[in-house]
Structure 1
Amino acid sequence: MSFQAYLDTIEDRTGLTPRELLAVARERGLDAPGTKAGQVVTWFADEYGLGRGHAMAFWHVLTKGPQISGKHVGSGGTHADASSTLWLDGRATRPS
């Protein structure tokens, strides 16, 4: 599954865009120095029934922003993304 596919599934399951979830994470203090990925894993599991893969994809965005490695961009593989910049404003507004 690509990073973007993880984010799209997170949006489907939570009803929140990745950008909206970033705001929730900040309100909860999950963007503070020293916060562990496991805290996001627990949050996603407890509140949304999402697993570790989804939580780790979000953790990447929370800690590193929307840029991802170009390693899989356009590779055609299982984890291929169309762009090295993830769309955070929801699939309905994503340019084609």
Structure 2
Amino acid sequence: MSYQAYLDAIEKKTGKTPEELLSEAAARGFTPQSKAGDFATWLKDDYDVGRGHAMALFGVFKNGATISDKHVDSGGTHSDPSAELRLDGIDRR
């Protein structure tokens, strides 16, 4: 599963774009220095998001929307089309 696919799955499950969830996380007091486990617990408790998916969103929260180009157009199962993740929602593509 690509990084973008994780974010898209979170949006489909929660009805909120990654951008909206990241804003909500900040409003709840999370920072990039917060513990990933606390972030994952919040997403599990409020949205029933699994740990792997929560960790993907936390990675964006902590490091931003630019990912390593290691898997960009690699053709593998983790291949992403771009090093820039889309956080504005599936419908905006």
TM-score range, shorter chain: over 0.9
Question: What residue in structure 2 maps to residue 4 of structure 1?
Answer: 4
Question: What residue in structure 1 maps to residue 82 of structure 2?
Answer: 83
What's the TM-score once normalised by structure 2's chain length? 0.95
User: Which 5+ residue runs of structure 1 have no aligned equivalent?
Assistant: none
Question: What residue in structure 2 maps to residue 42 of structure 1?
Answer: 41
Summarize deviations over 1:46-94 as a string: whole Å, max 9, x none. 1111111101110111011100000000011111100000000001102
User: Which 5+ residue runs of structure 2 have no aligned equivalent?
Assistant: none
Cα shift at 1:32 = 5.5
Cα shift at 1:5 = 0.4
What's the TM-score once normalised by structure 1's chain length? 0.92
* Counterpart AA for 1:24: E
Superposed, which structure 2 residues align to 1:1-40 within 5 Å?
Answer: 1-31=1-31, 33=33, 35-40=34-39
Question: What residue in structure 2 maps to residue 92 of structure 1?
Answer: 91
User: Which runs of structure 1 show a deviation greater than 6 angstroms over 4 or more consecutive aligned residues?
Assistant: none
Distance 1:32 1:53 in 2: 17
Summarize deviations over 1:24-45 as a string: whole Å, max 9, x none. 0001111263x10001110111
Root mean square deviation, CA, Å = 1.0
* Counterpart AA for 2:60: V
Distance 2:54 2:39 in 1: 6
Percent of aligned positions with the same letter in both sequences? 56
